[in-house]
């Protein structure tokens, strides 16, 4: 007979983190050729595809004069923006993986120079972030009222 457990927010976050860590370990196994995989050639090509996408994002940013990018999902307020729009909305503060009601003074971006992975996205927003502050997360910056220089929408959006 299984016991029903009510997880606290921390418990849910811990369980999610454990699941993510397992997924990351699996991702490494898939991405590193010969790391215990029978089909290392397929894994190698997957790793190359991700590297090419990362390089492409950086290259496009440089071409359009941007130095920061925001990975946006369809349900984000700024998903429907256009080139030239000034974004005056703010990102939420997150504490221990939980969104709070507190707002930052701007939107979260990543400097292209520090970008080392491509996150899930429906659109990429490129901006020039000359006036920014450092965020709490690694490589995160906060930009107030950025102007959109370029947008890439994923093929599935």
User: What ranges do the domains of the chain cover?
Assistant: 9-153
pLDDT range class, residue 54, cuts 50, 70, 90: confident
State the Cα–Cα distance between residues 87 and 145, nearest whole angstrom. 5
pLDDT in tens, 105-149: 999 999 999 888 887 888 899 999 888 888 888 888 999 999 999
Q: Measured between alpha carbons, how far is residue 136 from residues 10, 65, 93, 110, 141 in Å?
A: 19, 25, 9, 12, 8
Residue with the bigger pLDDT between 25 and 140: it is: 140
Residue pLDDT, tens place only, 83-111:
999 999 899 888 887 889 999 999 999 99
**pTM metric for this prediction:** 0.66
What confidence tier does 69 reach under pLDDT thresholds 50, 70, 90?
A: very high
For the cut 60, the answer to whether the pLDDT of residue 30 exceeds it is no
Q: Is the pLDDT of residue 71 over 80?
A: yes
């Amino acid at each position: 007979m299984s016991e029903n457990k009510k997880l606290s927010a921390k418990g849910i976050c811990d369980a999610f983190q454990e699941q993510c860590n397992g997924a990351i370990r699996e991702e490494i196994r898939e991405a590193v050729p010969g790391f215990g995989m029978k089909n290392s050639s397929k894994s190698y090509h997957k790793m190359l595809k991700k590297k090419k996408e990362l390089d492409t994002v950086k290259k496009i940013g440089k071409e359009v004069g941007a130095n920061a990018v925001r990975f946006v999902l369809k349900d984000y307020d700024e998903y429907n923006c256009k080139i030239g729009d000034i974004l005056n909305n703010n990102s939420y503060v997150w504490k221990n993986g939980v969104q709070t009601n507190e707002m930052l003074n701007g939107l979260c971006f990543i400097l292209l120079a520090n970008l080392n992975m491509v996150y899930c996205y429906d659109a990429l927003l490129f901006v020039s972030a000359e006036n920014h502050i450092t965020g709490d997360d690694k490589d995160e910056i906060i930009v107030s009222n950025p102007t959109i220089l370029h947008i890439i929408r994923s093929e599935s959006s």
